[in-house]
Homo-oligomer: A and B are copies of this chain.
Amino acid sequence: MARFFMAGTNLTGARAVIQGKDAEHIKVLRLRPGEEVTLCDGDGTDFIGNILHVGEGSAEVEILRSEPSAAEPSVRTTVLAGLPKGERGDYLVQKCTEAGAADIFFFQCTRCIAKPNNIEKKLERWRRIAEEAAKQSGRGVIPHVYYLEDFGEVLNKAVHCDLGLFLYETGERISIREAVEAKPDAETAAIITGPEGGFEPFEAELARQVGLSICAMGPRILRCETAPVMALTALMYGTGNL
């Protein structure tokens, strides 16, 4: 069944009016009155309906029912990643969207090499990448992408989740498997990973003090854009979402 995100859609009662690119797309797909389509609100709910009318630049849909998007995992996961250099952020957003992240925050911390110049432009770009990846992979949620300047806020976001994973490459740690298996029914989770240079010991110590799980992900050293998608995959596996 054809599937559209509802941005640019007007939902009034049981009628939706689709406009812009999606309306063009409906014409390209030659969808006709009576055919079923899914309209996704980008926040986890799908609306299933019948096409009533296909016109110039708009299409009308009768909504029959709504349901939670089937492609969304049971655990709502926030990925928080130290701001990386160059195209690594693009990669991180695309892969974490495929792997099921609900929100993605980039943040500043002591060892960040990347400067937050033009961060608004970068955020625009990453939001576009998240939307495209969400559409391609059949997500019901378009991950929100934000930037945080304050490392304290990063910890604070994770503290309010059922499961807070802080990936760290040295010192006293448990395996990510142990951490996930301690909370297999988590409904919310946070994954915090560092920038190219990793975390300062005091940053990891703060994370430990506020009660996050300080985790290792095997004995290999992972690139800063690889760690989040692997951690997300481990989390999805351990919570029964893979």
Number of interface residues of A (CB under 8 A): 34
User: What 1/0 flags go to A69-94 for Cβ under 8 Å of B?
Assistant: 01101000000000000000001001
Copies of the protein in its oligomer: 2
* CB neighbours of A71 from chain B (8 A): 218-220
A242 at the interface (CB under 8 A from B): yes
A217 at the interface (CB under 8 A from B): yes
Residue of B nearest to A216 (CB): B242
B223 lies within 8 A of A98 (CB): yes
* CB neighbours of A100 from chain B (8 A): 218, 220
* CB neighbours of A241 from chain B (8 A): 218
Cα(A234)–Cα(B233), bound, Å: 7
- A200 shortest CB reach to chain B, Å: 21
Cα(A219)–Cα(B46), bound, Å: 15
Residue of B nearest to A137 (CB): B220
Given contacts A136-B223, A138-B219, 7 further A-B contacts (CB under 8 A): A71-B220, A137-B222, A138-B220, A226-B229, A233-B233, A234-B242, A237-B238
